[in-house]
Amino acid sequence: MQYGICNLSTISVRIEPNDRSEMLSQILFGEHFKVLEMRSAWSKVRLAFDNFEGWIDNKQFIEISKEIYQSLNSNIQHYTSELVDFVTDTSNQQLITIPLGASLPFYKKNTCEIIDKKFHYDGNYISNENINKKDIINTSFLYLNTPYLWGGKTPFGIDCSGFTQMVYKLCGIQLFRNASEQATQGEVLSFIEESEPGDLAFFDDKEGNINHVGIIMKNNYIIHAHGKVRVDRLDHSGIYNTETKRHTHKLRVIKKII
């Protein structure tokens, strides 16, 4: 088994091993993973954070040892809290742009390390030991008006479950990658009135498949990624768009994660 880590701002995770294939997700700077299968140009990987699998370009990551991989799993993780920032590769003083929620492996005294490389970072950060449900709504507004992007996880493009996963990640809570998987987590609530700001609402299609998720706010509002990260009304039927004056998503279930 081989292991790797992202040393670029983002890596596209694709459904097939080629550049024209659909992007399923993204790996952000500092995220680590197992390499399940390596070919000449592409590798199939499984992320340590959420076990998500897909294909990435071999030119866009560096290999790490099993010992480093296990150490990253056991250490407190630090994440950038700026919309966009940069780290400096101290070996050549080159800058690498990093997005909100990027990881800072082995972070200590403004320095993070990837194998023998050291990166300087003096921006703001948070750690995954800071679990506070009160921060979920404030954190979600960092992504407000981010354009919708299938498979996206950054303030430059994000999908509905990428949005909820990243917001919860920045608040120290781990969610799966896809909406249908996230719907298996937490405690079911019977009514909207039982929910609190920060709980998740899930929505389904005509076949009953969960295909959308958003974060419940107070006073029957919801923030979610639909065209862009936006705020809409939430009622017992689903999401009501006041601009188009129609329901856009049918409510399936409400879950309390924390």
Catalytic residues: 160, 212, 224
CA 224 to chain centre: 14
Torsions phi, psi of 91, nearest 5? -75, -30
Pick from 252, 230, 251: which is nearest to 241 by CA? 230
Report the distance separating Cα 216 and Cα 196, nearest Å. 7
Where do runs of H (alpha helix) occur along the chain? 66-74, 135-140, 160-170, 179-182
The long-range contacts involving 11-14, CB below 8 angstroms and separated by at least 24 positions, are 11/56, 11/57, 11/60, 11/61, 12/56, 12/57, 12/151, 13/45, 13/52, 13/54, 13/55, 13/56, 13/151, 14/54, 14/55, 14/56
